[in-house]
Chains A and B, each alone.
Chain A
Amino acid sequence: MNGTRGILAYGAHVPYRRLARSAIAEVMGAGGGRGHRAVASFDEDTTTMGVEAARQALAGGTPTPRALWFSTVAPAYLDKTNATVVHAALRLDASVPALDFGGAPRSAVGALRTALASGDRTLVVASDLRVGLPTGPEDGGGGDAATAVLVGSDEDGPLLAEYLGGATATAEFTDRWRTPGEAHSRTWEARFGEQAYLPLAHRAWTDALEATNLTAADVTVAAVAGLHSRATKKAAAALGVAVAEDRTDTVGNAGAAHPTLLLADVLDGATPGDVVALVVLADGCEVLFFRATDALAAGRPTRSVANQVEDRADVSYALYLAWRGLLEVQPPNRPEPNRPSSSAAARRSDWKHGFVGSTDRSTGITHLPPSRVGISSGEVDDMEPAPMADAEGTVATFTVDRLAYSPSPPVVFAVVDFDGGGRMPVELTDVDPSEVEIGTRVEMVFRRLFTADGLHNYFWKGRPLRG
């Protein structure tokens, strides 16, 4: 391994939708609290959120990852790798391995640590969708989000933050658990976890300072995350350093994605030379130290965590429950869609996952979906690939379909003309039907259209450009 290791790029995805915690008690008479939790839309899952976070991280012309590691506690698939979907959406080369890290939130921070310790330029994606039983602590306290951190060395490009080292403490105790197939986790009484975690946090912190020759006075700020909120708060207070905003009030605890969400939030505002500690309480404790560099200002993602926290619209508690499958609602009286064909999808993966059309060499007309024959030249196979995922466009005309099948009707649908060429009728998402008009500006996002026979149908939708 050569050079200094660290963070080459990072990005976060906080879904557009929020649940006001007060809405829970209004319906249930209990639960909730203050503030909001971030809510994955009905067409988002951990894979699609991971894609969006990765797109944020890679948007600035950063070097291409040589490995993709995807961590989540709520995988869209088992047996089938979810990271390959992210890989396809990012259009990474077949030589780039895409691997899932699953099971527990600890896997996500473990993947980050392992990437920092390895020699590869690795995109570490963490994504989580936290569901609790209505009125329970995670119902209001959980949050849905994803992050992506491109880890590499200063030989790959300018590091936004250098990795200074860290330490870990591991212990077996059953504070929080979930058996496979269950949608929510269970916990032991809070005081048991608290007494188990605090010594582990102390040990990891002390070891990390020693390993890096730092003192607490050198640490500018600590981002402290953990699903045991009491232990996390107490551990943070015991560090003796400034503690970063934990996004409890605005996002909720995003489980596997939360540590890197807080790290991204801190890096969004850090100044060169700042030493940032990431402290994660998850079946033990992980401590990692970073130092922000001069390259940070130029290398930050366009959309900060704070920006995404501001860009939001509330959903009702009932709709939230319906989106998570906790409240079954009457679907439109239409046949449910067929499962997508795996063989047809594989043939057109670049289109379906990468949103790559084709541009006619002789006429310059962009065809969406890609076409072998142009609409006006008539030549066969005189086309170049036209990657359109990052293109923005304008609504030419639109409609709201209250009859069509959708996991969450109505369907808002627009014919979008892309800047620089290309037209396509697309479904809009993260949208209020009343906000669409001819001329509305639209960007493309990767979503799950529906699930049939347990097969998730991933494709791209448009959403209004905001801010």
Chain B
Amino acid sequence: MASHGIRDRVAIVGMGCTPFREHWDRSLDDLLIEAHGLALASAGMTKDDIDAYWYGTSQSSASGISLATPLRLDNRPVTRVENYCATGSEALRQACYAVASGAYDVAVAIGAEKVKDGGYQGLNAFPIPTDGTNRTLTAAAMFSLILPAYAERYGIDEDDLRHVVARIAEKNHYNGARNELAQFRQETSAEVICDMAAVAGRLSVFDCAGVADGAAAAIVVSAEQAADLCDDPLYVKALSLVAGNGSGLVDPSFDFTTLPECAASAADAYAQAGITDPRAELAMAEVHDCFTPTELVLMEDLGFCDRGTAWREVLDGTFALDGDLPVNPDGGLKSFGHPVGASGLRMHYEAWLQLRGRAPEERRIGTLADRSRALVHNLGGYPGEMVSFVGIVGTEKD
């Protein structure tokens, strides 16, 4: 088994991201056209320059036709990509491989989701016919399983731990309040969050990612071309994906205090990028904070701190904007909401802004003096059975 990666062989030379909102007045096509246009403009390209597309959407539309039609593409290959909530990152991963293979010069990864036309709150999976024995729990409830398990394993009082995860939401809302693309732009305190009614386990609505419509896109070229096209391209250092085999829901040794697929994809990504001490080497991380306990255990699974210590690091402010390793400086899923197909690309968009010094001053990270790489983590599924993407991008070619 080998995972060679394509370190520094391709680069992102343009990106675009729509505001994430309840876009009652805008269609999926409108969002795709906007993200596509923003990405082209940022790269100084027209659609004639694009050779191929990878289009990520979880359940807003199907097939490449649903992108080719609104953009009126001219005999271009379009692949529709779906991999649960990691769909956006998966589209980018495929576009990068296509360029690295030499099959195409310029590829676009674009992701979008129109969630708010469904008529229900929350994300709802497309119904697939089954024998009726599958779980019907919400994702919030599945991720809430982490809290009692983590408290039990590390001997932490459950009320204290509940406060810790509320601090994660507080931090992400602080960052999101400084981001005009974010859906929720109000700071919220951990105390207010703790006082809210529980909806799943100990989690309140504010421990959950919101629901929004949105789209984002990236333009990928070879590293050689990138130098000609762009002053400050973002080189792709690592792309890793692990599809879990569901063993966590079968194997009694899985204790719900870790997301093994995330740890495995992080280890692979670090190997591809040549990173040995992520806490010291990364300038920032965008991680999949679908629910506050997710971000808590991710800090350990991604190797940012030792097992059983993330809760203390959260209280110490390690992952705040001015902390040792800023996590979710754009506000994360907490502030943006989660248009499934777009989220992974939205995370890359923040790395695109921050590493190149283009993020607005009020949320600019302070780690860029001696660090130039960002980690993007994007997962889909639930504890025990998930897909996990970890990518690493950087402004310097190794």
Q: Which A residues fall within an 8 A CB radius of B?
A: 333-335, 337-341, 344-345, 347-348, 351-352, 365, 367-369, 371, 375-376, 396-406, 411, 413, 415, 417, 421-425, 427, 438, 449, 457-459
Contact = CB atoms under 8 A, between A and B. Distances in A.
A397 B200 contact: no
Nearest to A368: B250
A397 B148 contact: yes
Interface stretch (B34-42, B128-136, B228-236, B278-286): B128-136
Give the secondary structure class of B's interface: loop
Interface string B133-159: 101111011101100110010000000
Given A333-B120, A367-B250, A401 B200 contact: yes
Interface stretch (B48-56, B96-104, B251-259): B251-259
Indicate the member of B127, B138, B198, B247 with the most A CB atoms within 10 Å.
B138
Contact of B132 (A341, A397, A401): A341
Contacts of A417: 252
Contact of B138 (A344, A352, A401): A401
A62 to B, nearest CB: 28
Contacts of B135: 413, 425, 427
Contacts, number: 128
Given A401-B138, A402-B199, A396 B133 contact: no
Contacts of A422: 250, 252
Nearest to A403: B138
B276 interface: no
B133 A400 contact: no
B133 A459 contact: yes
B338 to A, nearest CB: 15
Shortest 5 CB-CB contacts between residues of A and residues of B = A340-B132, A401-B141, A399-B201, A341-B129, A375-B247
Contacts of B120: 333-335
25 contacts: A334-B120, A337-B136, A341-B131, A345-B131, A345-B132, A348-B131, A351-B133, A367-B250, A368-B250, A375-B245, A375-B250, A396-B252, A397-B152, A397-B256, A398-B148, A399-B145, A399-B201, A400-B141, A402-B198, A413-B141, A423-B251, A424-B250, A425-B137, A427-B135, A438-B152
Contact of B131 (A333, A335, A351, A424): A351
Contacts of B254: 423
Contact of A340 (B131, B144, B250, B384): B131
A270 B124 CA distance: 56
Contact of B141 (A341, A371, A399, A459): A399
A369 B145 contact: no
B366 interface: no
Nearest to B199: A402
B130 A344 contact: yes
A403 B133 contact: no
B137 A404 contact: yes
Indicate the member of A333, A397, A417, A424 with the most B CB atoms within 10 Å.
A397
A265 B32 CA distance: 69
Given A404-B138, A423-B251, A399 B200 contact: yes
B317 interface: no
A411 B135 CA distance: 11
A5 B152 CA distance: 56
A137 B136 CA distance: 38
Nearest to B255: A396
B44 to A, nearest CB: 44
B224 to A, nearest CB: 42
Nearest to A405: B136
A422 B249 CA distance: 10
Nearest to B202: A399
Contacts of A413: 135, 137, 141
A351 B140 CA distance: 27
Contacts of B122: 334, 403
A415 B132 contact: no
Nearest to B247: A375
B121 interface: yes
B144 to A, nearest CB: 4
A403 B145 contact: no
B198 A335 contact: no
A348 B133 contact: yes
Contacts of A352: 131-133
A397 B129 contact: no
Given A404-B138, A438-B152, A459-B133, A333 B250 contact: no
A340 B128 CA distance: 10
A401 B131 contact: no
A401 B137 contact: yes
A337 B145 CA distance: 23
Interface in B365-394: 384
Nearest to A404: B138
B132 A449 contact: yes
B131 A344 contact: yes
A334 B200 CA distance: 14
Contacts of A399: 137, 141-142, 144-145, 148, 200-201
Nearest to B384: A425
A449 B135 CA distance: 10
Nearest to A337: B136
A359 to B, nearest CB: 11
B145 to A, nearest CB: 5
A415 B145 contact: yes
A396 B256 contact: yes
Interface string B250-277: 1110111000000000000000000000
Contact of B250 (A335, A341, A371): A371
Contacts of B133: 348, 351-352, 369, 459
Contacts of A345: 131-132
Nearest to A452: B132
Given A334-B124, A347-B131, A396 B149 contact: yes
Contacts of A348: 131, 133
Contacts of B131: 340-341, 344-345, 347-348, 351-352
A376 B122 CA distance: 35
Given A457-B132, A459-B132, A403 B141 contact: yes
Given A338-B127, A367-B250, A438-B152, A404 B136 contact: yes
Nearest to A449: B132
Interface in B210-243: none
Contacts of B247: 375-376
A295 B141 CA distance: 49
Contacts of B138: 334, 401, 403-404
A365 B129 contact: no
A423 B141 contact: no
Contacts of B124: 334-335
Nearest to B246: A375
A244 B244 CA distance: 60
A397 B145 contact: yes
